[in-house]
Amino acid sequence: MRNLLLPLLALGMLLFGVSHIRNRQKETPQTPPPIKPVVSPYAERIAGAGLVEAATENLAIGTHLQGIVDQVFVQVGQRVRANDPLFELDTRLIRSQIAVQEMRSVSSRAELSRLEQLPRAEDLPPVVARREQADAIVRQWEDEYARQQKLALDGATTESSLVASRQKLAAARADAAGMKAEEDRLRAGAWEADKTIARAAVALADAEVLQLKTQLDLHRVCTPELTDAAGAVELTVLQVNVRPGEAVDTASGKTLVMLGDVRRKHVRVDIDEHDVPRFRSEGAATGVFRGDVARSFPLKFMRLEPFVLPKRSLTGDNTERIDTRVLQVLYEIAADADAIFIGQQMDVFIESRDGAAAAGGSSGIVLPAAEH
């Protein structure tokens, strides 16, 4: 019996191993997927991932200047028209600068007005009186010099007295000429060059006020003016990423407010560069949202952007390469799009030309050569 124990133990282990292997090799029953996979409605097709965007594209509104946000005038979902205010930066500093510059403008205008009103009426009488006094002194010394000349002829005066009288007459005439020139200068008013400088100072002050007021306008960010065939476009606020008291900067690249026309929605489809030769713009296109394969949306071709760029919107597929370049094509969702949200991802199928036609014919589009 002892001799049979080891063979029986080995046989038992063998049977256990065989049974375990058979149980492990049983086929797992196939269960249906929780969500039915998307099936292309076209035999020959191109598949691409699309992102829903507004008909005007998604407008990322920034700021003209850096500063602190003072007021936000809109909220998400609000409809806005052209020039409606979105938000405003703190304007206290710029308003004080405008007040100072306006006073400088007033001062410059007052200086120009003063120059243009010269001469003052009360400035003339004293100058005229001094000129008349100088003329009287000239006449006095003319008489004195004439008497000295007569006395010199009779030998009743000295040569030095005659010379002194002549010199005093010359000095009196010079004083009179100076006073006459001063009167003429005063009557002529301000020098024209001084007026020109004053006018330039007024223009410069006004321009600086206008510049500051322009900066004040830039503190308030308003809705851009967009038009289509029907006229002005009414936009919807899609995002508000700014709050009162926050600091904003022109170089941050942050979208402060996002706007878009959501009455019509477009889908921006990324077509892999390897599928570009098979793409044709006249081909039918259908879009399906992930998780809602029961509904499909017919798409209408709008335009393509003829520059093949690196792919930026990733789908999460394990086979997806990040160095892929894509051609972006825009389609309009032809059906009722009220229940569709901006930014949703859509699987898009585009009817393509067959392989033989693609190999032997035209690709259907012409792309400009990109610079490298």
pLDDT in tens, 198-253: 999 999 999 999 999 999 999 999 999 998 877 888 999 999 999 999 999 988 88
β-sheet bridge partners, residue 45 = 351
179 contacts 129 by C-beta, under 8 angstroms: no
pLDDT of 57 reads: 92
Q: Indicate the SS3 state at residue 351.
A: strand
- Asked if the bond preceding 119 is cis, omega within 30° of 0, the reply is yes
pLDDT of 301 reads: 95
pLDDT of 372 reads: 35
CA neighbor of 202 nearest in space, from 121, 120, 116, 118: 116
DSSP characters for 80-131? E-TT-EEEEE--HHHHHHHHHHHHHHHHHHHHHHHHHTPSPGGGHHHHHHHH
Q: Which residue has the tokens 């026309």?
A: 261
Q: What is the pLDDT along the chain (372 residues), one digit of tens a residue?
A: 566 777 777 778 888 787 777 777 666 667 776 677 777 888 889 999 999 999 999 999 999 999 999 999 999 999 999 999 999 999 999 999 999 999 999 999 999 999 998 888 888 888 889 999 999 999 999 998 898 888 888 777 788 888 898 899 999 999 999 999 988 888 888 889 999 999 999 999 999 999 999 999 999 999 999 988 778 889 999 999 999 999 999 888 889 999 999 988 999 999 999 999 999 999 999 999 887 888 889 999 999 999 998 887 665 555 555 678 999 999 999 877 778 899 999 999 999 876 434 434 444 444 444 443
pLDDT of 316 reads: 55
pLDDT of 321 reads: 56
Q: Which residues of 245-259 are buried (b: 16+ CB within 10 A; e: fewer)?
A: eeebeeeeeebbbbb
How far is Cα 363 from Cα 282, in angstroms, rounded to an integer? 12
Give, in order, the Cα–Cα distances in Å from 268 to each of 185, 305, 332, 335: 78, 10, 9, 16
Number of neighbouring beta carbons within 10 Å of residue 369: 5
- By DSSP bridging, strand 285-289 and strand 257-260 are unpaired
pLDDT of 2 reads: 63
Count the helices and strands in the chain (H runs, E runs).
6, 16
138 contacts 180 by C-beta, under 8 angstroms: no
Which residues lie closer than 8 Å to 27 by C-beta, 6 or more apart? none
pLDDT in tens, 47-95: 999 999 999 999 999 999 999 999 999 999 999 999 999 999 999 999 9
342 contacts 258 by C-beta, under 8 angstroms: no
pLDDT of 364 reads: 44
pLDDT of 313 reads: 67
pLDDT of 14 reads: 82
Mean pLDDT of the chain: 86
249 contacts 68 by C-beta, under 8 angstroms: no
Check the CA dihedral 345-347-353-358 and report its sign: positive
